[in-house]
């Protein structure tokens, strides 16, 4: 009864913004809706190239480390295609190796043999670490393969201290583990929680719902700040004091899914403040959002990569505010959203991105100035998917489909962890309802 009442409240409060599939009870069919062949191909390319049998996602082209973002991407893709066994393995590895006692996920992990040489440079911004670097800190990338937790077992409870095999059974052990792990990144935590919320229903596994709620509570507690009279999603705990945001972390669908689980109205506040900030950063002459921004009493100001991120290896393109490997995700987040106003935000970059695509025969620079001046040669699947999202949101579905096809082709021809992830996520988020329908949609 309580779950039903929460679902009703969620529907009334979020109107068309609530995801169907966030509550309890198995969806029709054993594994969810049918998966189109192009989606299956893109997802399997990512799984085959970067996801180990034990559930660890390895950035093979970036030194062999693991980031929470990659684990979250694998969770989203596994639940999207109904791969229950793989989802269980990925979540088990994530829980056992990345989850802190407060529920958040450490942004980066290296195999034990490499940790003596690992940097201790930050408890800071996770971000994309895309091929070529992004404004978000991409760690130094240690080589080596994990010998960590194999097996497929369904991941019991969420990461309260002592529950995972890695954390040990005492509060002292949990505290020591927390000291050893780097801090979280809000985008990965939101994506993981969203995937868990959907998996709870799709796979009829209540433990996933509990895990989603635990991560969600930790995001609200540790990765938000009060600014300009409201609650704002910041990039991570390190960003709370100066209210540093990465607009590509904003996820209307994740906010809706988590609100449907727990009814916490802070998700509504985040939905509204994120849209306002997104609107501000899209107001430039080219309509391109920055990788990073600060929320100040008098407005939202694009900034270069934070020093904590730049120190950890971000490329030179991030030395000034840029539309780069992080920012390309903002159109995707809003193109998959559930209201016309949200989708209109995703459409704003399309004129500038369309001009590049027309001039180059379909290429879109991976890094651009906020005036649309290219700052990196060549294209990248993530940039192409971002352009596809903007095109579809603007009503140019044909151009969006062509850009998704091009992203697939580049991901196959020039394999990278980040490119393969976003080629697959682009297909899932923009061209299917595999991650849940919006309330009221057919």
Query: How many angstroms separate the CA atoms of 312 and 65, rounded?
Result: 14
Q: What does the pLDDT look like over 76-132, one tens digit per residue?
A: 999 999 999 999 999 999 999 999 999 999 999 998 877 655 443 333 444 444 433
**Any domain includes 198:** yes
- Residue 339, classified by CB atoms within 10 Å of its CB into exposed (0-12), middle (13-18) or buried (19+), is middle
Number of domains comprising the chain: 1
* Higher-scoring residue by pLDDT: 258, 17: 258
At residue 396 the predicted structure's pLDDT band, cuts being 50, 70 and 90, is: very high
368-369/299-303 β-pairing: unpaired
Picking from 71-80, 118-127, 240-249, 291-300, which range would have the lowest pLDDT averaged per residue?
Answer: 118-127
Residue 279 lies in a domain: yes
Q: Is 144 contained in some domain?
A: no
Rounded (5°) CA angle 136-43-290: 25
Is residue 173 exposed (0-12), middle (13-18) or buried (19+ Cβ within 10 Å)?
Answer: middle
Judge whether 145 lies within some domain: no
Token pair for 206: 């209540």
9 within domain boundaries: no
- Which DSSP symbol is given to 271? H
CB 83 within 8 A of CB 53: no
Q: What is the pTM of this model?
A: 0.84
Under the phi-then-psi rule, with left for phi > 0, alpha for psi from -120 to 50, and beta for the rest, what region is 59? beta
Residues 6+ apart with CB under 8 A from 402: 362
Confidence at residue 116, expressed as pLDDT on a 0 to 100 scale: 54
Does the pLDDT of residue 225 top 90, yes or no?
yes
The answer, yes or no, to whether residue 383 has pLDDT greater than 50, is: yes
- CA–CA dist 296, 310 (Å, integer): 21
pLDDT at 173: 80
Q: What is the pLDDT of the chain when averaged over all its residues?
A: 84
Q: Which residues span the domain enclosing 375? A: 37-108+181-431
Share of the chain above pLDDT 90, in %: 70
Backbone CA torsion sign across 266, 331, 246, 70? positive
Q: What is the pLDDT of residue 31?
A: 56
Q: Assess contact for 94 and 105: CB atoms under 8 A.
A: yes
Residue 15 confidence (pLDDT) above 70: no
Estimate to the nearest angstrom the gap between the alpha carbon of 56 and the chain centroid.
17
Region 56-61: what's the mean pLDDT?
A: 97
Residue 16 has a pLDDT of 39
334 within domain boundaries: yes
- The three-state secondary structure class of 99 is strand
Q: What is the CATH number of the domain that holds 197?
A: 1.50.10.10
Residue 155 lies in a domain: no
- Which position has the higher pLDDT, 116 or 182? 182
């Amino acid at each position: 009864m309580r779950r039903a009442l929460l679902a009703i409240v969620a529907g009334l409060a979020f109107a068309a913004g609530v995801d169907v599939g966030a509550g309890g009870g198995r969806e029709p069919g054993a594994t969810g809706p049918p998966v189109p062949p192009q989606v299956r191909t893109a997802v399997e390319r990512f799984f085959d190239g970067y996801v180990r049998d034990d559930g660890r996602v390895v950035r093979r082209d970036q030194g062999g480390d693991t980031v929470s973002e990659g684990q979250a991407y694998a969770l989203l893709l596994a639940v999207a295609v109904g791969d229950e066994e793989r989802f269980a393995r990925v979540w088990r590895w994530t829980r056992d190796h990345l989850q802190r006692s407060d529920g958040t996920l450490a942004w980066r992990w290296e195999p034990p043999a490499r940790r003596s040489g690992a940097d201790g440079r930050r408890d800071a911004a996770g971000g994309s670490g895309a091929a070529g670097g992004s404004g978000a800190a991409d760690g130094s990338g240690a080589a080596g393969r994990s010998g960590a937790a194999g097996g497929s077992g369904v991941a019991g409870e969420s990461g309260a201290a002592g529950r995972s095999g890695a954390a040990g059974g005492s509060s002292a052990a949990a505290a020591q583990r927390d000291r050893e792990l780097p801090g979280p990144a809000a985008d990965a935590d939101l994506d993981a929680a969203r995937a868990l919320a959907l998996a709870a229903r799709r796979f009829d596994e209540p433990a996933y719902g509990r895990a989603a709620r635990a991560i969600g509570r930790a995001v609200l507690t540790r990765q938000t700040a009060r600014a300009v009279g409201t609650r704002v999603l910041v990039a991570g705990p390190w960003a709370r004091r100066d209210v540093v945001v990465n607009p590509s972390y904003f996820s209307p669908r994740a906010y809706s899914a988590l609100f449907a689980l727990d009814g916490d109205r802070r998700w509504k506040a985040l939905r509204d403040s994120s849209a306002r900030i997104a609107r501000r950063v899209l107001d430039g002459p080219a309509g391109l959002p920055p990788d990073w921004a600060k929320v100040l009493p008098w407005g939202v100001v694009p900034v270069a990569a934070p020093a904590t991120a730049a120190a950890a290896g971000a490329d030179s393109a991030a030395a000034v505010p840029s539309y780069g490997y992080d920012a390309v995700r903002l159109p995707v987040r809003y193109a998959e959203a559930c209201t016309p106003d949200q989708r209109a935000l995703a459409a704003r970059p399309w004129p500038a991105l369309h001009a590049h695509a027309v001039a180059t025969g379909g290429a879109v620079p991976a890094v651009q100035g906020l005036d649309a001046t290219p700052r990196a040669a060549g294209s990248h699947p993530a940039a192409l998917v971002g352009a596809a999202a903007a095109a579809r949101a603007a009503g140019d579905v044909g151009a969006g489909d062509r850009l998704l096809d091009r992203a697939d082709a580049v991901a196959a021809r020039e394999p990278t962890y980040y490119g393969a992830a976003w080629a697959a996520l682009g297909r899932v988020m923009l061209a299917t309802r595999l991650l849940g329908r919006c309330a009221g949609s057919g």
